[in-house]
Amino acid sequence: MSIVEGTSSDRFEPVRAALAANLEAGEELGASMAVDVDGVMELDVWGGHADEARTTPWRQDTLVSLWSTSKTLTNLAALVLVDRGALDLHRPVAHYWPEFAAQGKEHIEVRHVLSHTSGLSGWQQPFTMDDLYDWPTASARLAAQAPWWEPGSASGYHVQTQGQLVGELVRRVSGLTLTEFVDTEIAKPAQADVQIGARQADWPRIAGLVAPSQLSGIPTGLDPEGIFTKTLIGSPARDEHVDTPQWRSAELGAVNGHGTARGMARALSAISRRGEVNGRRLLSAETVDKVFEVQADGVDLFLGVPVRWGMGYALADPRTMPGMPTGRICFWVGRGGSVVMMDVDRRVTFAYTMNRVGDGILGSGRTHSYIKQVYDVLESTA
């Protein structure tokens, strides 16, 4: 059996070879990659193992807990509702969620939630994993607290709160949970193997994440009133919670999406292809254009690096993502390295999922290398 299975067009063979080399060297445990070019899946490959003991081969349908790459699905759900006229990016969140107006939040707009500029980057303490797993409690706590900085003035990455904020808006305007909406309005029309949380029947095909350095304890010596510290403490999910029944059953739109690389590339190609996927139109071209309206551009108050935020996604910027050219490209990453990248100019979508967690604030060295490989191919064959 080849170390990498799946299919690739001739021009994307170097990307397939890069995955094979990392698997051979032990840099990867198991992984999958996909490149959709205007609706054609030119690369759909996978290899390695789904478990640390290397007893379960990584298969075509192996799912991964995506951590923050989940946000690409959650924000796509919001954009679908924007496109339908159910959500207005410039209307106050409180128009749809009246309780949210408390503590001076009556002027926070939907766009602030999508661009991490609402000032609600974490939950006020005390707040536990049990609270996070309880949807009404988690929403009510955010509605009741005050923002930590002037909304709209800067971004502070909403590590785990964005899924709750966007998910509550989805519930209020559609009558569906975020999980239900992603399933019925995105995954099924796109025929994409993606979901928020994971259906119990799919648990056996979820790869176990292997993290060399656990995301658990809080570093010492931090300013207790700093945005970084409050966000970190106010975002309770840690590595030890992943791969548990509670995690898989929960609706955590910022962190516990599950999918294959092919599924993520197919679903998010709705942006790259200016709204159309699998013969269905999920978005208008005008709504796709809104993704690229800059909402914040500077050093993110939590991430500590420059990020240019559009509507729901980071926008291509060499300060943020090495190997990615400038242009109408948007993306986001998950803990350890998973990524989905949507290039509207080239109508290309690239997705990478893996189970060996890599180091790095925004993607791992492997992530950056694969993105560069993809663009080397695209530029050499343009």
Measured CA distances, 233 to 159, 240, 308 (Å): 11, 16, 25
How is residue 189 written in tokens? 């029309």
Note whether 54 and 236 are within 8 A (CB): no
pLDDT in single tens digits along all 382 residues of the chain: 579 999 999 999 999 999 999 999 999 999 999 999 999 999 999 999 999 999 999 999 999 999 999 999 999 999 999 999 999 999 999 999 999 999 999 999 999 999 999 999 999 999 999 999 999 999 999 999 999 999 999 999 999 999 999 999 999 999 999 999 999 999 999 999 999 999 999 999 999 999 876 555 566 778 889 999 999 999 999 999 998 999 999 999 999 999 999 999 999 999 999 999 999 999 999 999 999 999 999 999 999 999 999 999 999 998 898 889 989 999 999 999 999 999 999 999 999 999 999 988 899 999 999 999 999 999 999 7
Residue where the block lists tokens 């496109």: 83
Please tell me what DSSP assigns to residue 200. G
Note whether 271 and 128 are within 8 A (CB): no
How is residue 237 written in tokens? 């999910």
